[in-house]
Structure formats: C-alpha cells, structure tokens
C-alpha cells in the first residue's frame, strides 16, 4: 500500500490487511492452484471465496478477516488468473474441481459455504451442481442468470477479456487498472490495492496476470434449469445499481428458484458490490450466514437424476 493510501484508507481496511494469512497451493489436473488461507481456530467451518473474471484472491483480502470469528476462510485464484497456473483448455468442471480441491486442502468439512462474485458465481453454480450435497450452501454475488429471451445488448460471442498489453514499468501498468465491466468506484484505495496484485513482470516489461486467451479455450453457459437443480441452500446478492443485474434478471432468477432463497440488493452498489460498499456487503453476508447457522434449510434438494 502506498503512503497516500495509508493516509486515505480507513482504519477497518488497514486492520483487515494486517490479519495473518497463509499463501497455499494445491495441484488440480496438473495445474497449480494458489489460494489464501485465514484461520483463528482450526475447528471452525469453512468459507470459500471465488473471484470474478480476470480477478484474483486478493480481491477478498480486505473482506475475509471479518468472518474469522465464525469461519476459516480460503480465497483461491482460479486457473488462468492471479498466481495460479494457466491451462491449454478450461472448463466449468475444472473450475468446480479447483474450488473443491481448495476446500479439501484447507480441511473444510461438508458444512462449507461457497461465495462467488460475477464469473465466480457461475463457477459456484457449477460447483453446487457437481458437489452440492457436500456443501452447506452457496451465495451468488451479482452473477446474473438471464432469461432465455433476454435482450442482451452486448455480443455474447465476444470475449469479456481484452488482449493484454505490456507496459514499460510496474507503476504504468498499475495506473492502467480498470474495472470490467466499466464502472466508477469512489474507494480508490481499494482499486489501487487490487491493481498492485494484478500485475506481474513479463519479457519486455509488466502486464496483467490473467490468461487473455481463456475465453478462446472455454465454453461456459449458465441456464435457469441449472439453478433449479442446485441441491443445497442458495442466496443471491446484487448491486442495486448494477448494470448487469437488472430487475428483469432478478425477477427471473426469483421465479426459477423458490421462496426460501433470499435475494438481497445492496443500495449504492454497482456490479463490483464489495468494492463499492464493502462494509454493507460484509454486514449482509454475515447476517445471512448467521441465519443459516441457526436454522434448517427450507429448500428441498432435488432427487438425483430428476429433471427440472
């Protein structure tokens, strides 16, 4: 953190970054998967945090410490992103395997909760489809599952990741950090912290850590019937001002799921919910997880093999 950010960043943010954690690694299908691990007591249940497209585990670094009284926490770098290895081919199944491998390597039990933001929410859906009977629940954060006839103004075949450039020095690269999809964010100290962990040295200078050819190697689709088949608890959080998660999508997902699934819209938050309103996000997620700890699921798991 720069001297400027040390003065600008609020106390809660500085304290969160000081919380002790471990850098760990587990191999999944021949590729090293890096993750961050926090724990105050090894007997606590597990919470797995899954970042969005092109992001990395450090997006959760200032969020994870708020949950350490009740959970051990792991935040992973999905393959092709952060400090994890890149693959020749990516798949939803491999991403789900990575999430579960991290949970198992961290020693989490079947009461583990998975929280995924944006693309990480889609990975979380796939994880629940494959391993949901071994999860305590999943939380989807601004991860829109759109109606089949949704009028999406962007070309769905266009890669959401831009081709990377090489910059002459680290400072120039970090200064070019932008959120995708584009949005403003008043918490500049958070953006600068994330940018610091998004850059790596490459031949000729510095560039972004993510694999900019990932979506040339990946087929990924989430459908309403996938939501219907999730066999564990589900919750949905989204930004009230999110460009990607409008009311039509919220209504569709609410209809596809059932009345036991809580939907939480965070005021004054766009797509990058916990960058815009980090403490409100923490409060909402802590309240949800507390309710889950002290209640029984209302949602009935679908019969294995049954259709939607």
Residues 280/237, Cβ–Cβ less than 8 Å: no
Q: What string of pLDDT tens digits covers the 308 residues of the chain?
A: 555 666 789 999 999 999 999 999 999 999 999 999 999 999 999 999 999 999 999 999 999 999 999 999 999 999 999 999 999 999 999 999 999 999 999 999 999 999 999 999 999 999 999 999 999 999 999 999 998 877 655 444 445 567 899 999 999 999 999 998 899 999 999 999 999 999 999 999 999 999 999 988 787 776 788 999 999 999 999 999 998 999 999 999 999 998 889 999 999 999 999 999 999 999 999 999 999 999 877 665 555 444 44
pLDDT value of residue 264: 97
Domains for the chain: give ranges and CATH numbers.
3-145+187-293 (3.40.50.1820)
Give the pLDDT of residue 161: 64
Chain mean position to CA 3: 29
- pLDDT at position 1: 59
User: How far apart are alpha carbons 307 and 44 in whole angstroms?
Assistant: 35
Nearest CA among 121, 119, 120 for reference residue 140? 121
Question: What's the CA dihedral at 270, 127, 157, 141 to 10 degrees?
Answer: -10
Distance CA 297, CA 235 (A): 12
Rounded alpha-carbon distances, angstroms, from residue 15 to 12, 20, 53, 73, 289: 5, 10, 27, 17, 22
- What was the pLDDT predicted at 303? 53
Structure tokens at 146: 């759109």
The radius of gyration computed from the CA coordinates of the chain, to the nearest angstrom, equals 19
For residue 5, what pLDDT is reported?
64
Question: pLDDT at position 301, please?
Answer: 56
Q: What is the DSSP string of 257-303?
A: S-TTS-EEEETT--SSHHHHSHHHHHHHHHHHHHHHHTS---SPPPP
> What's the confidence (pLDDT) of residue 259?
83
- Write out the two tokens for 231: 């066999």
Pairwise CA distance, residues 99 & 129, whole Å: 13
Angle subtended by helix axes 119-131 and 92-105, to nearest 10: 80
Q: Are 187 and 278 in contact (CB under 8 A)?
A: yes
Q: What is the pLDDT of residue 88?
A: 94
pLDDT of res. 297: 78
Q: How far apart are CA 48 and CA 114, in angstroms?
A: 5
* pLDDT at 235 (0 to 100): 97
| CB-count exposure of residue 25 (10 Å: 0-12, 13-18, 19+) | middle
Distances (CA, A) of 120 to 6, 31, 49, 86, 280: 30, 19, 8, 17, 20
What would the two tokens of residue 236 be? 């949905």
């Amino acid at each position: 953190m720069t001297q400027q950010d040390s003065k600008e960043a609020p106390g809660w943010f500085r304290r969160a970054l000081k919380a002790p954690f471990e850098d760990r690694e587990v191999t999944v299908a021949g590729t090293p998967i890096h993750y961050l691990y926090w724990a105050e007591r090894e007997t606590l249940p597990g919470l797995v945090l899954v970042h969005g497209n092109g992001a990395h585990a450090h997006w959760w670094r200032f969020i994870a410490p708020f949950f350490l009284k009740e959970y051990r926490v792991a935040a992973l770098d999905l393959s092709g992103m952060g400090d994890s290895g890149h693959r020749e081919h990516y798949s939803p199944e491999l991403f789900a395997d990575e999430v579960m491998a991290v949970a198992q390597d961290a020693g989490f039990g079947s009461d583990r909760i998975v929280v995924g933001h944006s693309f990480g929410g889609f990975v979380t859906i796939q994880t629940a489809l494959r391993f949901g009977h071994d999860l305590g629940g999943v939380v989807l954060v601004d991860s829109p599952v759109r109606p089949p006839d949704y009028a999406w103004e962007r070309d769905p075949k266009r890669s959401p990741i831009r081709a990377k450039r090489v910059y002459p020095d680290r400072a120039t690269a970090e200064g070019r950090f932008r959120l995708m999809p584009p949005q403003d964010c008043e918490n500049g100290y958070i953006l600068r912290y994330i940018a610091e962990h998004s850059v790596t040295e490459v031949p000729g200078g510095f560039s972004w850590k993510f694999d900019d050819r990932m979506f040339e190697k990946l087929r990924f689709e989430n459908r309403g019937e996938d939501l219907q088949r999730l066999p564990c608890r589900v919750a949905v959080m989204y930004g009230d001002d999110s460009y990607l998660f409008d009311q039509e999508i919220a209504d569709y997902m609410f209809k596809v799921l059932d009345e036991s699934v809580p939907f939480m819209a965070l005021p004054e938050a766009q797509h990058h919910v916990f960058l815009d309103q980090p403490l409100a996000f923490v409060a909402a997620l802590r309240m949800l997880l507390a309710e889950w700890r002290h209640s029984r699921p209302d949602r009935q798991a679908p019969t294995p093999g049954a259709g939607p």
